[in-house]
Amino acid sequence: MSDTRNLFNTVWDLHTVTELPNGQTQLFIGLHMIHEVTSPQAFEILRDRNLSVMYPDRTIATVDHIVPTTSQVRPFVDTLAEGMMSAIEKNCDEFGVTLLDIDDERQGIVHVVGPEQGLTQPGMTIVCGDSHTSTHGAFGSIAIGIGTSNVAQVLASQTMYLNRPKVRQVVVNGELKPGVFAKDVILHIIRKLGVQGGVGYAYEYAGEVFDRMTMEERMTVCNMSIEGGARCGYINPDQKTVDYLQGRPFAPKAEEFDKAAEWWLSLASTPDSEFDDVVEFAAADIEPTVTWGINPAQSIGISENIPSPEQFDETEQVGIAEALAFMDLTSGAGIKGQKIDVAFIGSCTNGRISDLRQAAEIAKGRRVAENVKAIVVPGSQLVRKQAMEEGLDKIFEEAGFEWREAGCSMCLAMNPDKLQGREICASSSNRNFKGRQGSPTGRTLLMSPAMVTAAAIHGCVTDVREMLDPASV
Amino acid sequence: MNEIKQISGTAIPLFLDDIDTDRIIPARYLRCVTFDGLGEHAFEDDRKQDPSHPFDQEQFQESQVLISGRNFGCGSSREHAPQALMRWGIQAVVAESFAEIFFGNCTSLGIPAVTCSRDDLKEMSATVQADPKVAVSVNIETLAVTVGDKQYACQIAESARNSLTSGRWDFLGLLLEKQDDIKQTAGEIPYLNSFAS
């Protein structure tokens, strides 16, 4: 009988240590990434129990959430942040874990660094104390976000207990229109399936649109799986995946790479693979998409109008009204033309070199509107370096953007980059939750980096398609 | 670990959907290396903007059971969120549904997170609003939430129920019991063995 397992189940079975009577699996973890926010308490648990890290070479650390993006000179001005830096440095040193520290040019957002260094590979199980770990699924791995107790478990045993999720194939066929990006695709999927539609599922993204995407675009899609409730999302490995990994520092070398590539490609789901559910969307239906509410499913296409509570199921109306009141937006009005105060380009969703190139293409020769504060925060030091080699920093600065150091920055505002008061921000990040960008009453409009740039230049939400080079349309 | 079968006391109603972990504990309070002191900051930004927020109301200060809506705990994986609730005094959460990472974190901390139907939650919430001192219990052996003299059916993933009621929720200890199996599995994974076939 042929193997009808999809990639997810093949990889899961390979990493299964034991199955418990209660239905859970003890799963071996191939790559454990840690950062300064969710690891200190985990190391403390190990100390309390006199335990060591079982596979220190399967664990790698960096610092991203709390690092400032203006000056990164130590000690940091924020003494709490500096304390967290000292803690991860001490912990990694004491437990033998490699740390890509702030003075290492490989430092950056953990979900940018993993792929960039070739740590992230197909067929792996990957965890990190961060919900956007789903990013690494772009390579055909099982990648999930975990809590701090789990971080301690994985450090000490390289395993954790998980319930095997169902697998839903999310198919998008057809061709995306010009000006429609990976970010718009995933915002559209979340809008259609809901913020909890993926609970209990892993998402396999399949179809022509994902086949055509670059690895970085695939990362943007998988990154936001968790915003749709799916703890994990992945795309089957193909030749692009193999080509991306070739020559990366932590990727296999020479003959071993050829053997690895053969194995990676063998993992992909086949036409015979079975799924617990399949949903399909048409690429042609996807517009540049912008959120209007306080969760990532509350979005509309740029040409649509902001909905009213009555358009939703009765059980959802209170939440919709709460979102409209918080955002101070009016039902029936368009989102196009909505004034913004801040523009943020960066994050683990859209802080990679291709994101910065797209943004720079729109920014080139134009000026950020008066009264708009616009910042560009590269996802890693190496992304920053590459962008500077290409002169993107100059394009941004000449247009009036601030060019910053690498980090998570205003995606969650644990560092000094924060909205003030009721400011409204066009943001290439992943969450528009109340208070997410550092001001309890601050507001976020999620969109693609190109759309953020367009909004920065016009001072209001703009259809980026109107600014594209006609030759490319 | 202790066996957790029933949480009894009073309840605090927060019957809203999609409460994310940034709302439960704003990110600025994650600038710490221990979980100490998080309790006082639970829902801090929501409380500042809503003077009638339940977490600030006198009658709910001693509550053990939190009642909420759909998709509770969505967003970030921060264990600081259930830690903040626990340190505020919450020992069980009853909601329509939970985000997965949050649910797992609750179980790791010994907090039963059970689900009930929306209609039942609505009724429980109204009862508790009208009578904040009404006795509430969450029993994961009998899968029942009791509010005053009314009983409601609840659900919880069997794995979590089993772990909590048997006192086997020190997962770290249990995982380490399988050291030989862990090494054997590692020996069969291609990328840990130079992709030798």
CA distance B43 to chain A (A): 11
Q: What percent of chain A has pLDDT over 70?
A: 99
Distance CA A173, CA A206 (A): 8
What are the φ/ψ torsions at residue A208 (nearest 5 degrees)? -60, -40
Residues in A closer than 8 angstroms to B46, CB to CB, are 434
- Over residues A35-69, the pLDDT tens digits come to 999 999 999 999 999 999 999 999 999 999 999 99
Q: B22 vs A147: CB contact, 8 Å cut-off?
A: no
- Over residues A24-35, the pLDDT tens digits come to 999 999 999 999
pLDDT bracket for residue A20 (50, 70, 90): confident
- Over residues B24-36, the pLDDT tens digits come to 999 999 999 999 9
- State yes or no: pLDDT of A23 exceeds 90: no
Instruction: Provide the strand spans (E) within A245-349.
Output: 277-282, 289-291, 299-301, 342-345
* Of the partner residues B100, B174, B190, the one whose CB lies closest to the CB of residue A263: B190
SS3 (DSSP) at A18: strand
- State yes or no: pLDDT of B197 exceeds 90: no
Give the rounded distance of the alpha carbon of A67 from its chain centre.
18
Among the residues of A204-281, which ranges form H helices?
Answer: 208-212, 215-223, 239-245, 254-266
> Exposed (0-12), middle (13-18) or buried (19+): which is A97, by Cβ within 10 Å?
buried
Going from the N-terminus, what domains does chain B have, and what CATH number goes with each?
6-168 (3.20.19.10)
Pick from A166, A122, A133: which is nearest to A60 by CA? A133
Q: How many CA atoms lie within 13 A of B1 on its CB side?
A: 20
Query: What CATH fold (topology level) applies to the domain A7-277?
Result: Aconitase; domain 3 (3.30.499)
* Of the partner residues A40, A131, A153, the one whose CB lies closest to the CB of residue B33: A40
- Over residues A209-260, the pLDDT tens digits come to 999 999 999 999 999 999 999 999 999 999 999 999 999 999 999 999 999 9
Distance CA A135, CA B57 (A): 41
Q: A160 vs B171: CB contact, 8 Å cut-off?
A: yes
Does residue A197 sit at the B interface (CB-CB below 8 Å)?
A: no
* Of the partner residues B49, B101, B178, the one whose CB lies closest to the CB of residue A440: B49
Contact A353/A216 with Cβ under 8 angstroms? Answer: yes
Q: B74 vs A158: CB contact, 8 Å cut-off?
A: no
* Of the partner residues B105, B163, B175, the one whose CB lies closest to the CB of residue A147: B105
Q: How confident is the model over A118-136, as a mean pLDDT?
A: 98
Does residue A233 sit at the B interface (CB-CB below 8 Å)?
A: no
- Over residues A276-306, the pLDDT tens digits come to 999 999 999 999 999 999 999 999 999 999 9
Q: A149 vs B79: CB contact, 8 Å cut-off?
A: yes
Does residue A263 sit at the B interface (CB-CB below 8 Å)?
A: yes
Give me chain A's average pLDDT, please: 97
Find residue A125's DSSP bridge partners: A142
Q: B78 vs A37: CB contact, 8 Å cut-off?
A: yes
Q: How confident is the model over A411-435, as a mean pLDDT?
A: 97
Pick from A127, A167, A164: which is nearest to A148 by CA? A127
Q: What percent of chain B has pLDDT over 90?
A: 98
Please give the model's pTM, rounded to 2 decimal places: 0.97
Residues in A closer than 8 angstroms to B181, CB to CB, are 17-18, 26
Contact B72/B97 with Cβ under 8 angstroms? Answer: yes
**Per-residue model confidence (pLDDT) at position A9:** 98
- Asked if A7-277 and A288-472 have one fold, the answer is yes
CATH class name, domain A288-472: alpha beta
pLDDT bracket for residue A435 (50, 70, 90): very high
- Domain ranges, ordered by start, for chain A: 7-277, 288-472
CA distance B64 to chain A (A): 22
SS3 (DSSP) at A163: strand
* Of the partner residues A196, A231, A413, the one whose CB lies closest to the CB of residue B70: A196
Q: B18 vs A195: CB contact, 8 Å cut-off?
A: yes
Q: B26 vs A435: CB contact, 8 Å cut-off?
A: yes
pLDDT bracket for residue B159 (50, 70, 90): very high
- Give Cβ neighbours of residue B35 (< 8 Å, ≥ 6 apart): A41, B79, B80, B83, B87
